[in-house]
A and B are shown apart, each in its own frame.
Chain A
Amino acid sequence: MKPVFPFSAIVGQEEMKLAILIAAVDAGIGGVLVFGDRGTGKSTAVRALASLLPPMKVVSGCRYHCDPAGNGARCSECQERGKLKELTTNLAPVPVVDMPLGVTEDRVVGALDLERALAQGVKAFEPGLLARAHRGFLYIDEVNLLEDHLVDLLLDVAASGENVVEREGLSVRHPARFVLVGTGNPEEGELRPQLLDRFGLSVEVATPTDIEARIEVVRRRDEFEHDADAFMHKWHKQDAKLRRRIVAARARLASVAVPNKAREHAAKLCMGLGTDGLRGELTLIRAARAVASLDNDAEVGLPHLRKVATSALRHRLRRDPLDEAGSTIRVDRAVAGMFGA
């Protein structure tokens, strides 16, 4: 195993780190899109996530690592076996699946197991990346360079939580709930607007301009590459602390109250900005709740809404394709106007 740069050692980029933490607390947030300059730690943050997350309980031997607790969301195999006898469980790391460029569709959705079909004449399903990412994260670097038909497919599965395979005489469906994390550089081309608003949160990252922050980035990176073990040891505690925070926030999430006042504010904000549909409002509330939970607060308040408003709404403004640069500012202005600067 190659050592992975620890999450807590990433300098700055608070908005991106918060968005990823929100997704780690509430997987239903609908994915995170990170767009920005090259070399700002986009990929580093996502890859660091894997070692940050606490292991999860899975049904032993299940190809889709089903959750032993959730009955409805289990795959058909586990449902069958569950009827016969008690399922055994074990702990497994949360999958963070890296989707490589040049991937073919059969590997994403799964396909007929060719070897078994040819050798034994058995029609068997070979799960793909979507199955592997179930209950975890699916990471696409350079999402704007991925073939369009693959992006469509991914977003569809991410939204429905189920992968339906109808090909080569196979008819298989299995649960595939994952958080889609896409990163990209706007200079390489933009994402289709239809895809943009299907991501829950959208984050913009920029190269730090503060010289002290820049020195810190270089220093830590150098230290890490020079002696990874010592560096990992140094940051181990911070990562563990963050892990405990995520676990606690997950446990608390359901009990965090959303007062009517917060809903009203969210609705007003979305109306003021003229966002399309209800998705923005729902995501805003959901993200704010995850933040409240992370901050150990009992109910969602204005500070929480404020923290996530930009990430939750900037990509949902009614699109004037030419006003791209201004959407962040528009949200900020609306937030300031509503909650007082």
Chain B
Amino acid sequence: MRAVRMDDLAFTDAAIAACILAVDGCAIGGLSVRSRSGPGRDEFVALVRRLMPPDTSIRRLPLNIADDRLLGGLDLTATLQARRPVMQRGLLAEVSGGLLIAPMAERLPRSLAARLTGVLDTGEVTVERDGFGATADAQIAVLALDEGIDDEERPPQALLDRLAIHIDFAGMNWQSFEQPFSTEQIEAARRTMTSVHASEEIARALCGVAAELGVMPMRASIMAIKVARIHAALAGRLDVKEADVIVAARLVLVPRATKLPADEPEETDEPEPQRAEESQGNVSEPETDDAEPQDSGPLADMVLEAIAAAIPAGLLDKLKTTMTIRAQAANSGRAGAQRNAALRGRPVGARRGEIKTGVRMHLVETLRAAAPWQPLRHRQAGVDKKRVELRREDYRIIRFKHRSETATIFVVDASGSSAMHRLAEAKGAIELLLADCYIRRDQVAMISFRGKVAELILPPTRSLARAKRTLAALPGGGGTPLASAIDAGLSLADGLRRKGIFPTLVFLTDGRANVGRETSANRARAQDDAYLAARLCRASRLSTLVVDTSPQPGPAAERLATEIGGRYLPLPYADAHAISGAIRRVTPGSQ
């Protein structure tokens, strides 16, 4: 049975990945493991720990780590004791040569990921903080534990890019791991890996496979070759052979696949090929199916055949449906995340202030402020010259920048009734709003609903070009599944709120539902479902705006606005600017 084989293969591969990581984690950046937390995953992490050299430092990376602990900075206690600035090393420098485990990697903030990727790229950590400037070795490997469930819940792409091997345990039956290589083999591989030879044919084959699978980033191919090399060393070879290429392709390239081999290129949301064509002009013919086999050689074909079993059966379906939201998403666990979202922020400098609860003193700035006055104060007070005289006016506290990032979610009715009348106008209004969002550096997301389902056609992004493309390509026609649309908007808004972003929901609809939750076409039932969903939405106290797109502004949309607890605005004729003003009024923190 295919399903069983798939699972077997995944677990064998995971064990191989752990061995490769143990040989030289720094060379391959690390692993990303997608799985819910549980004993199975713990077993995998334990395997990784066991395989690493005995004296390796293995540390966990807390999500809320501050820069002074991550990169290094002032050591408070030592500074106070020594009465001069004393620096402490950061976590990244401390773990150098070892492994950094990042649990809940799907919630890793972008800024933290950027610091990690910088270190992964250079193998060094540079600190310029609190009056110190230093560079320390930080050759690290990262084990990212991705607990995301939805397709949007993923570790930052920049980080995933640098971790060679991606393992996905989601939805698999846990089995125990068998160690594919002995500890002696791993130790031997550490010594021999630098003398493993990889011929040009190998690079050619891996690039060919990458092209066939639609893996565009160059890093993937570069890392695949490293993985092949290490695998060869593990198997006791000094030449990279076909078997190594197959393993590398399975571990590195298959998880990044965006299309099936020898298939018509699937539509993906990656803009690269297009853009490349634009900027490179006629330099090269973009990959065509008939040109490749002769380009990448027979080895690539062989590898493709061999990895066919590793390509998840549902890959194609998954690619097609990644963007579809399940209409009834779970709606729980909100309170905790929301509470700290309002209190947290990023430290941005210091300001004069009182030391009281709820603020943090900025020691360096406080001492700096006090320093010029020391001789004067010593003379005045006639006190011990060794003491630093601090006065109230010297106190400096850390200024936190309140993260008032906002996102606007457009829920666009593209059903037949709307499309007939005013979809084009609604698009025009959205374009104006997009321009507004751009100025405010808002994120935008777009959900369209028509036929039977609501679809997330644009995940939250700041890329306006992408938003515009999506909008232009939005087709119309079909029923009006308003209830699903509200559910989808709410669940997306909820997810954003958990990340500390303030969402605003903008519905563009005529408010006349005719497809209910059970996708029945009973009009009255559908309308009831919609109002029920709307009340649920109101309970979550989001700021919402309902723009009535019906030809004559009618009671249906107005009632929807009341139920949803939002503002109602009939789409004015030929004056899209009015909407733009209206949204500004409902968006918190935009003044």
Contacts and interface: CB of A to CB of B under 8 A. Distances in A.
Interface stretch (A23-31, A59-67, A118-126, A280-288): A118-126
A157 B128 CA distance: 18
B82 to A, nearest CB: 10
A329 interface: yes
B222 A222 contact: yes
B465 A324 contact: yes
A104 B441 CA distance: 23
B348 interface: yes
B278 A209 contact: no
B464 A102 contact: no
Contact of A211 (B122, B123, B211, B364): B211
Contacts of B348: 147, 149
B77 interface: no
B222 A2 contact: no
A39 interface: yes
Contact of A186 (B111, B210, B463): B463
A102 B217 contact: no
Contact of B375 (A102, A105, A121, A186): A121
B462 A207 contact: no
Interface string B66-105: 0100110000000000011100000000000000000000
A145 interface: yes
B62 interface: no
Interface string B143-184: 000000000000001100100000000000000000000000
B203 A219 contact: yes
Interface in B264-286: 272-273, 275-280, 283-286
Contact of B374 (A37, A47, A118): A118
A325 B465 contact: yes
Contacts of B110: 145, 188
A107 B128 contact: yes
Contact of A168 (B118, B287, B369): B369
Given A107-B131, A218-B221, A210 B275 contact: no
B503 interface: no
Given A207-B216, A214-B210, A100 B126 contact: yes
A142 B114 contact: yes
A68 B364 CA distance: 36
A324 B464 contact: yes
Nearest to B160: A38
A39 B198 CA distance: 22
A226 B194 contact: yes
A141 B431 CA distance: 31
B439 A321 contact: yes
A38 B211 contact: no
Given A38-B158, A322-B464, A168 B129 contact: no
A263 B286 CA distance: 38
Interface string A302-341: 0000000000000000001110110011000000000000
A39 B469 CA distance: 24
B292 interface: yes
Interface size classification for chain A: 35 or more
Given A100-B128, A115-B84, A207 B217 contact: yes
Interface string B431-467: 1001100110100000000000000000001111100
A113 B121 CA distance: 32
A209 B127 contact: no
A169 B207 CA distance: 59
A162 interface: no
A210 B275 CA distance: 13
Contacts of A204: 275, 279
A155 interface: no
Contact of B295 (A99, A211, A217): A211
A187 interface: yes
Contacts of B434: 321-322
B218 A218 contact: yes
Interface in A206-236: 206-215, 217-219, 221-222, 225-226
Interface in A15-70: 15, 37-41, 43, 47
A321 B438 contact: yes
Contacts of B464: 190, 321-322, 324
A295 interface: no
Contacts of A185: 158
A206 B280 contact: yes
A114 B435 contact: no
A325 B272 CA distance: 12
Nearest to B199: A219
A100 B127 contact: yes
B200 interface: yes
A211 B283 CA distance: 12
A294 to B, nearest CB: 21
B581 interface: no
Contact of B372 (A108, A112, A128, A147): A112
Given A43-B121, A206-B280, A103 B129 contact: yes
Contacts of A149: 348-349
B295 A218 contact: no
B397 to A, nearest CB: 15
Contacts of A92: none
A116 to B, nearest CB: 9
B118 A121 contact: no
A189 interface: yes
B206 interface: yes
B133 interface: yes
B371 A168 contact: yes
B207 A214 contact: yes
Contacts of A206: 272, 275-276, 279-280
Nearest to A2: B123
B129 A112 contact: no
Interface in B177-223: 194, 198, 200, 203-204, 206-208, 210-211, 216-222
Contacts of B277: 209
Give the interface centre of A99, A115, A188, A211 by most chain B CB atoms within 10 Å. Answer: A211
Contacts of B126: 98, 100
Nearest to B123: A2
A187 B463 contact: yes
B245 interface: no
A321 B329 CA distance: 34
B279 A214 contact: no
A101 B124 contact: no
B88 to A, nearest CB: 15
A129 interface: yes
A117 interface: yes
Contacts of B287: 209, 211
Contacts of A121: 374-375
A213 B295 CA distance: 12
Contact of B129 (A37, A107, A212): A107
A221 B207 CA distance: 13
A39 B218 contact: yes
B84 A321 contact: no
Nearest to B295: A211
17 contacts: A2-B124, A37-B217, A37-B272, A114-B364, A118-B367, A118-B371, A145-B114, A192-B441, A208-B284, A209-B216, A209-B272, A211-B207, A212-B295, A215-B200, A217-B218, A222-B198, A322-B438
Given A147-B401, A215-B207, 15 more contacts: A101-B114, A104-B349, A107-B128, A107-B133, A123-B372, A141-B118, A149-B349, A185-B158, A187-B463, A190-B463, A211-B291, A211-B295, A212-B295, A322-B435, A328-B279
10 closest Cβ pairs, A-B complex: A210-B284, A117-B371, A107-B128, A39-B219, A321-B438, A206-B276, A325-B465, A324-B465, A100-B126, A102-B67
Interface of A: 2, 15, 37-41, 43, 47, 98-108, 111-112, 114-115, 117-119, 121, 123, 126, 128-129, 141-142, 145, 147, 149, 168-169, 185-190, 192, 204, 206-215, 217-219, 221-222, 225-226, 320-322, 324-325, 328-329
